A and B are shown apart, each in its own frame.
Chain A
């Protein structure tokens, strides 16, 4: 059960856009459109911000968007705001009925 590959850190200035990648295999990200993204602020529980590759739960800002190509999913945050500074994790359903997370990406808003 491998971990999905994410960059350890990304940064951007307020108002800019950033993209976080999440690379898996044909047994997880590439197999289904069941990729999700979670935001986690320090000391808090994770929060679902994207599900099924590109859908936003009610109440999540439309500045967050998701996409997928092959075995790589991506999260884009546009119009960066200070409160977007957090850790971001991708996850995927797998062909063995399990779940796998990415290693996490720390977003710094400069």
Chain B
């Protein structure tokens, strides 16, 4: 059974940093693109970033490029999102998703709140 479990969310002040993790199991992690998708409270889904199987190709939404970095550790079946210079508008539930053409499996999400 495919499982994606996010962690690392919490309350952070504007301008702060946070690192999210996603532990994957139930499939051969190194064979798949992976993604982060976020959802602000009461709002719609927003794609944040993708990373290729080996980690060499990465793509970001314009609003986070230069502040967020997606990475992965295939030996540990883990996906990461390093977030810097956080803003109030980054407040959201952050979902880890497997990308097999489309986002076919999702985690339950981890909440990031940016507030003073």
Interface residues of A (CB under 8 A from B): 1, 3, 34, 36, 38, 40, 45-48, 51-52, 57, 87, 89, 91, 96-104
Contacts and interface: CB of A to CB of B under 8 A. Distances in A.
23 contacts: A1-B61, A34-B101, A38-B45, A38-B103, A40-B45, A45-B95, A45-B106, A46-B37, A46-B106, A48-B102, A48-B104, A48-B105, A51-B102, A89-B44, A91-B45, A91-B47, A98-B59, A99-B47, A101-B44, A101-B45, A101-B47, A102-B44, A104-B45
A15 B40 CA distance: 33
Interface string B37-52: 1000000111100100
Interface of B: 35, 37, 44-47, 50, 59-62, 95, 101-109
Contacts of B37: 46, 101
A48 B62 contact: no
A14 B3 CA distance: 33
A52 to B, nearest CB: 6
A99 B103 CA distance: 10
Contacts of B61: 1, 98
B25 to A, nearest CB: 16
Contacts of B104: 48, 51, 57
Nearest to A36: B102
A41 B62 CA distance: 28
A103 B45 CA distance: 7
Contacts of A99: 35, 47, 50
A97 B52 CA distance: 11
Which of A1, A48, A91, A100 has the largest count of B CB atoms less than 10 A from its CB?
A: A48
Contacts of A40: 45
Contacts of B62: 1
Contacts of A96: 59
B44 A46 contact: no
Contact of A45 (B44, B46, B101, B109): B109
Contacts of B45: 38, 40, 46, 89, 91, 101, 104
